[in-house]
Amino acid sequence: MSGDRIDSTDDARVGNSPMRHQYRVLSDEEKAQMAALKTKGEELLALIEECGSSRELSIARTKTEEAVMWAVKHVTR
C-alpha cells in the first residue's frame, strides 16, 4: 500500500482502488452524507472508548464500525 492518502470524499478516489474496478463520482450531497456518517461513527467510538474495556465494548466497537461501513456503502453504491 502506498503512503499516499486521499480523502474519502475526494473525487480522486475513483482511480485508487485495488479491489473495485470502478467507483462513481459522488455528488456533493453524497460526500456530505458519507463524511457525516463517518464523523458520527468516530464520535460514538470515542464515547465507547471512554467506558473502559470489556468483551461487550469490543463488540460495540465492531458493530459501530460495521454500521458505518454499511451506511457508507449505501451512499456510495
Please state, in angstroms and rounded to a whole number, the distance separating the CA atoms of residues 77 and 4: 24
Q: Which residue has the higher pLDDT, 18 or 58?
A: 58
pLDDT score at 10: 73
33 residue type, one letter: Q
**E strands present in 26-77:** none
Percent above pLDDT 90 for the chain: 65
Of 25, 3, 2, the C-alpha closest to 13 is 25
pTM: 0.73
DSSP 51: T
pLDDT digits (tens, 9 = 90+) for 20-32: 666 788 999 999 9
Q: How confident is the prediction for the chain on average, in pLDDT?
A: 86
Distant-in-sequence, close-in-space partners of 35: CB < 8 Å, separation ≥ 6 = 8, 9
Instruction: Tell me what pLDDT residue 1 has.
Output: 41
